[in-house]
């Protein structure tokens, strides 16, 4: 059961909302318990075999959290290390066990049989969410919480399949606030509108780019135009697929009265790779910064260790995405980009004044091309396939046109580029009106659109939602659900 399914939209969501708000009028504890049951039911709908794994993870982490709170200061770190190791072992067994076995077989000529395991959906997200909670508990930054409220936080269905990565400081105070268990017209309107636009991103844009992407990776040695069109299509498919999912998750949560953090902010408009990572998968970027890069030492111990920490953080961030060397290379490329950027800035020094528009435009193009090159490894099934596409991008496989691509496919790439580079994002349209982001740097856009609870926006939302629903029958799986 995914967001872009009839079962979710016409059965699960209405029943969940109705039960939540009816119980919320009587007692917030009953409403929260209903939401916990709904979250577990949503998770079970993917595969009932996943539930014991999620339950063991939640219970084990909660017991570790209580042990950290009770332990004397000298032993708190020991409990944290044991708990984090437990999470990583669980994650490693299900997600990386066969990757390790395959690597040993390839390097040592062994013939170890692969593990017969089924990757639990969302294991990376609920593992990282709980690791962050334990880390903050060790440092006295986590509030006291009961088991059932912690279980709701760890299994909350809007995030569990593909994020955003939640932080307890954002969610637990909301779950404890009685006012969030009362239905409001504003929450329903904002949430439904966000959901509608996220659904449109997914089924009208991302899914229509799939044939173009598949054509670039279907055969060997794609030529210049096919490689470039295919990689442009994949860059936009990934963005609209994942940002569409995030918008739907934020919208569903908002209908319930809870605000989860936005996860994208026009990343392809970034002028450097550092800015890209403040705009792409924002919740994961914050996790990697706060719970990996800074604990490694950050930039506090000289330039060499700063570059080392950047590389380690991005390599591990790449490995988090999947058990394949292509993801490690993708993370390593971004680590290299960041090191080059910071090294250049250190040599050049801080330039006075505001950069000229032409310089900013060139920086944005260079940043996007660098990101696109790295996406090649993210998408390719193996290193050989990625190198074939890179050679195609460089024109080394020939310069012939991509005859198999028709005007519809090419126009979809053009429309996607226009929206990604020149139009306002959903945060600017639907969330900035609430002044939730007073310090945020709004991304460039040709138009200024701002949502209001009005009849005009209701009609726009209704039309987009209907068109999205009519196209749900041929929807593809969410890309990030596999991570």
- Is residue 415 within 8 Å of 242, Cβ to Cβ? no
pLDDT at 412: 87
pLDDT at 103: 81
pLDDT at 436: 57
Is 475 buried (19+), middle (13-18) or exposed (0-12) by CB count in 10 A?
A: middle
Which residues are known catalytic residues? 321
pLDDT at 438: 46
Each domain of the chain, given as residue ranges in start order, spans 6-182, 187-271+355-482
- Give CA separation, 141 vs 133, 138, 385, 438, in Å: 9, 8, 46, 25
* Kind and range of the H or E run holding 82: helix 73-91
pLDDT at 439: 46
Distance CA 316, CA 293 (A): 10
pLDDT at 400: 65
Distance CA 444, CA 442 (A): 7
Contacts 24+ apart (CB under 8 A), 414-418: 415/205, 416/205, 416/209, 416/233, 416/236, 416/237, 416/240, 417/232, 417/236
Distance CA 277, CA 269 (A): 11
Distance CA 65, CA 430 (A): 37
- What parts of the chain have a pLDDT lower than 70? 350-355, 400-405, 431-442, 482-483
Closest CA relative to residue 165, chosen from 123, 195, 135, 120: 123
- 397: tokens are 């496989």
End-to-end CA distance of the chain: 17
DSSP letter for 476, please.
Answer: P
| Residue 132 CB contacts under 8 Å (≥ 6 apart), including other chains | 165, 167, 168, 287, 290, 291
- 457: tokens are 């926006």
Is 454 buried (19+), middle (13-18) or exposed (0-12) by CB count in 10 A?
A: exposed
Distance CA 27, CA 253 (A): 19
pTM over 0.85: yes
């Amino acid at each position: 059961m995914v967001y872009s399914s009839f079962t979710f939209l016409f059965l699960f969501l209405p029943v969940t909302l109705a039960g939540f708000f009816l119980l919320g009028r009587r007692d917030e504890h009953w409403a929260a318990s209903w939401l916990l049951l709904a979250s577990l039911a949503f998770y079970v709908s993917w595969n009932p075999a996943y539930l014991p794994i999620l339950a063991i993870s939640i219970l084990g982490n909660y017991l570790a959290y209580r042990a950290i709170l009770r332990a004397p200061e000298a032993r708190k770190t020991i409990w944290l290390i044991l708990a984090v190791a437990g999470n990583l072992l669980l994650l490693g067994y299900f997600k990386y066990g066969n990757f390790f076995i395959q690597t040993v077989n390839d390097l040592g000529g062994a013939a170890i049989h692969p593990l017969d395991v089924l990757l639990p959906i969302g294991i990376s997200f609920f593992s990282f969410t709980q690791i962050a909670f334990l880390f903050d508990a060790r440092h006295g930054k986590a509030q006291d919480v009961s088991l059932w409220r912690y279980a709701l936080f760890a299994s909350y269905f809007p995030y569990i399949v593909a994020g955003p990565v939640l932080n307890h400081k954002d969610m637990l105070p909301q779950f404890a606030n009685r006012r969030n268990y009362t239905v409001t017209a504003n929450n329903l309107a904002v949430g439904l509108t966000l959901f509608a636009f996220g659904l449109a991103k997914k089924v009208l844009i991302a899914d229509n780019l799939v044939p173009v992407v598949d054509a670039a990776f279907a055969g060997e040695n794609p030529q210049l135009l096919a490689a470039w069109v295919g990689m442009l299509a994949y860059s936009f498919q990934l963005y609209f697929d994942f940002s569409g999912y995030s918008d739907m998750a934020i919208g569903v949560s908002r209908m319930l009265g809870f605000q989860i953090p936005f996860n994208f902010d026009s990343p392809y408009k970034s002028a450097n790779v550092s800015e890209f990572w403040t705009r792409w998968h924002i919740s994961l970027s914050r996790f990697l910064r706060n719970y990996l890069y800074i604990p490694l030492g950050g930039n506090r111990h000289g330039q060499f260790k700063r570059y080392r920490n950047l590389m380690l953080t991005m390599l591990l961030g790449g490995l988090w995405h999947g058990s394949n060397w292509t993801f490690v290379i993708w993370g390593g490329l971004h680590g290299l980009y960041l090191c080059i950027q910071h090294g250049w800035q250190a040599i050049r020094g801080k330039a006075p004044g505001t950069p000229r528009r032409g310089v900013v435009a060139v920086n944005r193009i260079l940043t996007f091309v660098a990101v696109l090159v790295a996406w090649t490894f993210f998408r390719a099934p193996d290193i050989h396939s990625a190198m074939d596409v890179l050679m195609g991008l460089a024109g080394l496989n020939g310069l012939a046109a991509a005859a198999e691509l028709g005007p519809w496919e090419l126009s979809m790439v053009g429309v996607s580029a226009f929206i990604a580079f020149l139009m306002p994002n959903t945060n600017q349209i639907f969330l900035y009106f609430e002044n939730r982001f007073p310090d945020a740097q709004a991304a460039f856009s040709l138009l200024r659109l701002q949502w209001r609870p009005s009849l005009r926006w209701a009609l726009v939302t209704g039309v987009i939602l209907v068109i999205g629903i009519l196209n749900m029958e041929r929807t593809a799986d969410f890309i990030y659900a596999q991570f």
